[in-house]
Amino acid sequence: MESRRRPSPRTVFAQQFAALFEAAGNPTLRRVATAAQARMRAARAAGQNLPGLPYRRPCE
């Protein structure tokens, strides 16, 4: 009987994260962060600011 070790949760996360980036066309981290910030901005109520995060225009 052959015993196989299961990959660690950290390894699984890294593999899945890399697959997500590949599926998205390998965007830069700056594009990912800018897109996330734009989504957060759209999700909050009008007039609210996120403390510590300056407004930045989305990448084009």
Asked whether residue 39 is domain-assigned, the answer is: yes
Q: What is the pLDDT along the chain (60 residues), one digit of tens a residue?
A: 566 899 999 999 999 999 999 999 999 989 989 989 888 888 876 666 656 566 666 665
pTM across the whole model = 0.50
Asked whether residue 13 is domain-assigned, the answer is: yes
Domains identified in the chain, total number: 1
- What is the residue range of 30's domain? 9-43
**Alpha carbon separation from 28 to 21, 43, 59 (Å, rounded):** 9, 23, 11
Asked whether residue 38 is domain-assigned, the answer is: yes
